[in-house]
Amino acid sequence: MTHVSWSPPDASKAGATLETFILEGMFKVPGATGTFTSLLNQISLAAKLITGRVRRAGLADVLGWTGDTNVQGESVQKLDIIANETMINVLRRRGHCMGVASEENDEAILFPNARGGYLVVVDPLDGSSNIDVDVSIGTIFGILRCDQGKPVTAESFLVPGTEYAAAGYVIYGTSTVLVLSTGQGVHGFTWDPGAGEFFLSHENVRCPTRGNIYSVNEGNTARWTPGVKRWASWIKEENKAEGRPYTHRYVGSLVADAHRTLLKGGIFAYPADTKSPGGKLRLLYEANPMALIFEAAGGRATTGRARVLEIVPTELHARVPLIIGSKHDVDTFEQFVKDDS
């Protein structure tokens, strides 16, 4: 990254609030204005508001479908709309965010009066098909710098992930955890509803070099390329000397599957197939944020052929294959698919 907006504190801050952690990181950067710090705090506030709505979903008539479809052609849940509106409304308030690209909106939403120098890309509620059955869901976000001397347009968002200033996700599960990285380490903060704060609970997260869990939708097997099929067969074979077979775990919520993979190691794969030859997951607000987090934690992120963070998007809702996880396991996947056409 060319410019540093924030840097993690030097000493252990276990138990510190997210706000304190962010402020102390800001103080390490000469000339920091506090704009980036304020933007992170706004995203944290949106996460607090969303988790409140998620926790009350079964009591507040916000479960179920709206009857609409989004730009992805996917059915929209009521909580999708609530989470999207919450994130956008919070980000527009202080003028630090100059625009938002969301999974739920066809076009980027621009804030022409803002002067903050940052853009946000977001999937406000990932895995929303799991809402009605109480399976973990989440929010994924990335923060991009933009040139304050130029008008912000939709094209301002079309930069590779290497240009992201920060990325993170929030998982709404048995507890609510916010995971954050500016490319310099990965840190997790757990929400304490009694105190109304996120507290540092996962300091300097490192993805294990190798795991024993694989996460993939095996319902797509018939549509996979030959290399992916060989990999999926190999990973289930009995070979104690090589630590196989791996255990299969798949939730169908990117945040949930990625969070487990980050902490436990192994691999999450949503490869290209005959139905989605260009991939299924969105580059700007799903693949890039997860790729930044995994690389910062010592893992890897690839399409099977290319480093995710180096791909230059051509449209807001561009899709890519995504394989993330432990370095050894992602390396092995690439060996199996290298000859696929």
pLDDT class of 73 with cuts at 50, 70, 90: low
- The Cα 202–Cα 205 span in angstroms is 6
The token pair that represents 5 in the structure block: 């907006």
Whole-angstrom distance, CA of residue 311 vs CA of residue 321: 11
Q: Pick the range with the lowest mean pLDDT from 5-19, 59-73, 153-167, 197-211.
A: 59-73
Say yes or no: 284 and 239 in one domain: yes
Q: Is 67 left (phi over 0), alpha (psi -120 to 50) or beta?
A: left
- Cα(89)–Cα(140) distance, rounded to whole angstroms? 17
| 172 within a domain of the structure (yes/no) | yes
Task: Tell me the pLDDT band of 137, cut-offs 50, 70 and 90.
Answer: very high
Both 42 and 141 in a single domain?
Answer: yes
End position of a domain, from candidates 170, 202, 234:
202
Nearest to 330 by CA among 166, 207, 242: 207
The pLDDT of 206-228, averaged and rounded, is 97
Domain membership flag for residue 3: no
pLDDT band at 297 (very low <50, low <70, confident <90, very high): very high
CB under 8 Å to 313, separation ≥6 — which residues?
A: 157, 158, 159, 160, 283, 284
Both 198 and 223 in one domain: the answer is no
Alpha-carbon span 182 to 256, nearest angstrom = 21
Residue 150: pLDDT band with limits 50, 70, 90: confident
CATH classification at residue 90: 3.30.540.10
What whole-number distance in Å separates Cα of residue 285 and Cα of residue 269?
A: 17
On whether both 39 and 59 belong to a single domain, the answer is yes
Whether 176 and 324 share a structural domain:
no
The mean of the pLDDT values for the chain is: 90
- Of the residues 180, 202, 224, which one is the last residue of a structural domain? 202
Output the pLDDT for position 9: 60
> Which among 142, 168, 202 is the end of a domain?
202
pTM: 0.92
DSSP assignment, residue 246?
Answer: P
| pLDDT level of residue 113 (50, 70, 90 thresholds) | confident
Q: What pLDDT is attached to residue 24? A: 83
> Is the confidence at residue 53, as pLDDT, over 90?
no
Report the alpha-carbon distance of residue 181 to residue 289 in Å, rounded: 9
Mean pLDDT, to the nearest integer, of 277-298?
98
pLDDT band for position 8 (cuts 50, 70, 90): low
Residue 267 clears pLDDT 60, i.e. is over it: yes
Residues 275, 298, single domain; the answer is: yes
Give the mean model confidence (pLDDT) for residues 113-126: 93
Question: Is pLDDT of 192 > 60?
Answer: yes
317 lies in some domain: yes
pLDDT tier at 265, thresholds 50, 70, 90:
very high
Per-residue pLDDT, 177: 97
Query: Which pLDDT tens digit goes with each residue over 274-286?
Result: 999 999 999 999 9
For residue 46, CA distances in Å to 25, 69, 109, 153, 180 come to 21, 23, 17, 24, 14
- Domain span at residue 245 reads 213-337
Q: Is residue 107 part of a domain?
A: yes
314: domain CATH number? 3.40.190.80
The structural domain count of the chain equals 2
CA angle 3, 87, 288 (to 5 degrees): 45
pLDDT at 54 > cutoff 80: yes
Residues 128 and 155 in one domain: yes
Give the integer Cα–Cα distance in Å for 306 and 338. Answer: 11
pLDDT of 63 reads: 52
